[in-house]
Structure 1
Amino acid sequence: MRKLIYGINISLDGCCDHTRFSGTDDIQDYFRELLEGTDLIIYGRKTYELMVPFWPEVAQTQSMNESGNAFAKVFANIKRIMVSHSADSANDKQTIIIRDNLKEEILKLKQQPGKAISTGGVELPARLIELGLVDEFHMVVHPLIVGQGRRLFTEMSLPENLDLKLTSSQMLSSGCMALRYTLLRG
């Protein structure tokens, strides 16, 4: 079965608001390498609209630095799913929309052959975690305390604790720590 991988940037005090972080090449490279091991990305509408059409356009124009352009090329070539009840269309030939039956639809995708599946953002991943669908967590912890902003998992409700195992850690040159956790299944 394919793994569903959740990746996100976070501050030491749990803030996951992307406007609070400065992107560096090593972080871009980390997430590019993560995406190279996937062939499908699943986002909620808000995160999807932050990522598309921005990254596909960068892939065409090559308008960023080397790391940004490399990330954009990988991102642009991956199939995408937007989970939304409100979006009329995706306006992107590589994207389909899931509107209903989230758990069943994701389970079907996980059972198909292929590489891992990636997700990001806050609301949809929290729902996927609640449904027991996320297998790995990739947290890039920034050496910042921001004091305010959206916090990770504040709206999530779990019936019990999720036990995770740290399977790798990597100190990035920016001072960020990339942590990879795998869900321990009972």
Structure 2
Amino acid sequence: MRPLRYSINVTLDGCCHHQAGLPPDEESMTYWTGEMERAGALLYGRVTYEMMESAWRRPVTGPWPDWMDEWEIPFAEAIDRTKKYVVSSTLGTVDWNAELVRGDLGQAVRQLKEEPGEVISVGGVALPLALADLGLIDEYVFLVQPVLAGHGPTLLAGLRERIKLELVDRRDFRSGVTALRYRPQTTA
């Protein structure tokens, strides 16, 4: 069974808005590129899919935009080629190597997890909350930013039940960011 991994940048006060933390640097982009390259598929809600597509989809003209630094291109290439599943009741179609996921969320994600392949990486805010409530997330990866945002959406706000986690890996970056990887603790 393919594991489902939730990965996101988060500030010390729990804000997970993509502009609240530190701007990406070469070290963090190398980390995210590695995570992307290990993902067999991405699972996004509509908002995250559209945001990631607008930033990271290869332009029709071919070359990457001038604003992109050389060290961002490997991430852009990795996300551009990775299979994507989009949970949406409002989109009629998707492209960018993507397909829509409709119907019962729990059943659809369980089916994706049963398919052969590597880890499924989920991002965003609302969709991971629903998946956590359903007990479907097998791993949580938080890049904790040394910033207090004081506003914005917070990580897993509204979670119905507490999920006890076990730390399985930690990596400190020169910028002060700490990558924390957790798995839900199993009750024996």
Q: What TM-score bracket applies, with the shorter chain setting the length?
A: over 0.9
The answer as to whether partners of 1:58 and 1:69 remain within 8 angstroms in 2 is no
Residue 28 of structure 1: aligned partner:
29
Report deviation, 1:145: 0.8
Q: Cα RMSD between the aligned structures?
A: 1.5
Q: What is the DSSP-based 3-state SS (H/G/I as helix, E as strand, rest coil) of the residue aligned with 2:171?
A: strand
Q: What is the DSSP-based 3-state SS (H/G/I as helix, E as strand, rest coil) of the residue aligned with 1:52?
A: helix
Residue 43 of structure 2: aligned partner:
42
Q: What is the DSSP-based 3-state SS (H/G/I as helix, E as strand, rest coil) of the residue aligned with 1:88?
A: coil
Q: Does 1:62 align with 2:64?
A: yes
State which of 133, 136, 149 in structure 2 corresponds to 1:133: 136
Shift in alpha-carbon separation, 1:58–1:176, aligned structure 2, 3 A? farther
Residue 168 of structure 2: aligned partner:
167
* Matching of residues 12-161 of structure 1 within 5 Å: 12-21=12-21, 22-57=23-58, 60-63=62-65, 64-90=68-94, 92-158=95-161, 161=162
Shift in alpha-carbon separation, 1:11–1:93, aligned structure 2, 3 A? closer
Report deviation, 1:61: 2.0
Residue 178 of structure 1: aligned partner:
179
C-alpha distance after superposition, 1:130-159 (max 9, x if no partner)? 01110000000000111111111112222x
Unaligned runs of 5+ in 1: none
CA distance in 2: counterparts of 1:6 and 1:93, whole angstroms = 21
Q: What is the DSSP-based 3-state SS (H/G/I as helix, E as strand, rest coil) of the residue aligned with 2:35?
A: helix
TM norm structure 1: 0.93
TM norm structure 2: 0.92
Tell me the amino acid that sits aligned with residue 119 of structure 1.
V
Q: What is the percentage of aligned positions where both structures have the same residue?
A: 34
Aligned length: 183
The answer as to whether partners of 1:58 and 1:72 remain within 8 angstroms in 2 is no
Q: What is the DSSP-based 3-state SS (H/G/I as helix, E as strand, rest coil) of the residue aligned with 1:18?
A: coil
CA distance in 1: counterparts of 2:157 and 2:165, whole angstroms = 18
The answer as to whether partners of 1:9 and 1:18 remain within 8 angstroms in 2 is yes
Tell me the amino acid that sits aligned with residue 104 of structure 1.
Q
Tell me the amino acid that sits aligned with residue 43 of structure 1.
Y
CA distance in 2: counterparts of 1:54 and 1:140, whole angstroms = 20
Shift in alpha-carbon separation, 1:58–1:25, aligned structure 2, 3 A? farther
Q: What is the DSSP-based 3-state SS (H/G/I as helix, E as strand, rest coil) of the residue aligned with 1:61?
A: coil
CA distance in 2: counterparts of 1:10 and 1:95, whole angstroms = 26
